[in-house]
Structure 1
Amino acid sequence: MNNKGGDTPTPGPSSSATGHTAGNDDGGVPGDYLGTWSASLPGDRGASTRKLTIRQGDVGDQALSLTAEGPLALGATYHCEFTAPLAARPADGEPVLIGPSTVSVGRPAASCSPGKATELTLLPDGTLRRTTTASGESLIYTRSD
C-alpha cells in the first residue's frame, strides 16, 4: 500500500502487565491486550511511528485507537489518528478481531486513509502482532505503558 499515513500495520505510504487478567469479564477484550503499544517503521525519508491504544469494550465499541506519524517528501510530516471497533468477542486463546478503522484526525488529510480489519495476537515474548486479515501484512508492537 502506498499510503504513508494509512492505517496499515506494515511500512508504506500509508512489558509490563496492566493489572487485568486474560479472563476479564468487563468487556470483550482480554485484559492482557489492554494498554498502549508502540512500533517504528523504517523508511526512505526516516522512521515512522505507530502508537496503538487498546481499551476495554464490547463488540461494536471503539476499542482501538492508533496514531501514525512520519516524514513526507520535502521535509513535511504526516499525523493520522484512527479508531476501530471490536469486531467479535474472542474465544480463550484466540486473536482479538478488530473491524475496519476510520480516520478521526488527518494532517494532511490526503496522507491518511481508513484501514482494513485486523487481528491482534499476543506473542510469547510479550509483544503484540497486528495483522491485516485481508493481506496477512503485520507489524510487531511493544508495550509502552
Structure 2
Amino acid sequence: MLAAGGSVYALMNNGGDDDKAGGAAPPTPSATARTSAGDPAPTGSPSSSAPSAGPVPTAFLGTWATAIDNSTGHNTRELTIRQGAVGDPVLTLVADGPGYHCEFVAKLAEKPGTGGPLEIGPSTVTTGKPRSSCSAGEATEVTLLPDGRLKRVRKDGEESLTYSKR
C-alpha cells in the first residue's frame, strides 16, 4: 500500500503519493481503485440482494463503498460485484468527486477458487462527466479481508483500495 497522504490525481494516473498536478487539476479516476493506508472506510449494512449460482463466491457479491479525502475534496467509490462467468462483466465502479462522475465495468478474468481471490480484467469507461476526467483502469485482484472488508489491488501490487460492504 502507498504511504498516507497521496492525492487522487496522482494515484488515478498511475502515480505515487506525490501531487503531480500541484493540487490545481481535478483528479482523473480510473477503475483501478487505489489509495493509501489509513483512509477511512465507510460502514454500511449488508446487501439485501440474493446471489445466484455461479463461480463468484457469495461473500464477494453486493455493493461496497469507500471514500478518499484529499486536497481536491471528498471522492467516493462504489463498487458492485455481480455473479457471472469468466469473460462476463461482473464488476462495476462509480467514482464521484468534485467536478467529475465516472462509471466503469470490468470482466471476470479467471475462475476464482472457493474463497477467491477474484481476478478482474482491465476496466472500460461506460460514463464520464466530463469524459476527459475518466480513464480505463488496469487489471486488479479482489480479496476479502479477515474483518469482512474487500481489498482491490492493482495487478502490479503497487496500489490498493479497501471497501466496506453497504
Residue from 137, 141, 145 that aligns with 2:163: 141
Indicate yes or no: 2:49 matched with 1:29. Answer: no
CA distance, structure 1, for counterparts of residue 47 and residue 127 of structure 2: 29
Aligned to 1:131: 153
Count how many residue pairs are aligned between Structure 1 and Structure 2. Answer: 134
Deviations 1:76-116 (A, max 9, x none): x1000000001111122331111000000001011000000
CA distance, structure 1, for counterparts of residue 35 and residue 132 of structure 2: 17
Runs (4+) off by over 3 Å: 17-21
Indicate yes or no: 2:28 matched with 1:4. Answer: yes
TM-score, normalised by the number of residues in structure 1: 0.84
Q: Structure 1: which 5+ runs fail to align?
A: 72-76
Aligned to 2:46: 16
TM-score, normalised by the number of residues in structure 2: 0.74
Contact map agreement 1:18 1:32 (CA 8 A) in 2: no
Q: In the alignment, residue 4 of structure 1 is paired with which amino acid? A: T
Q: Percent identity?
A: 49
CA distance, structure 1, for counterparts of residue 151 and residue 48 of structure 2: 18
Q: Structure 2: which 5+ runs fail to align?
A: 1-10, 14-26, 37-44
Indicate yes or no: 2:138 matched with 1:116. Answer: yes
Contact map agreement 1:11 1:42 (CA 8 A) in 2: no
CA distance, structure 2, for counterparts of residue 67 and residue 28 of structure 1: 24
Contact map agreement 1:130 1:138 (CA 8 A) in 2: yes
How far does residue 6 in structure 1 lie from its aligned partner after superposition?
Answer: 1.8
Aligned to 1:43: 70
Deviations 1:49-99 (A, max 9, x none): 00000000000000000000112xxxxx10000000011111223311110
Distance change in 2, residues 1:97/1:18 (3 Å): farther
Aligned to 2:116: 94
CA distance, structure 1, for counterparts of residue 108 and residue 131 of structure 2: 25
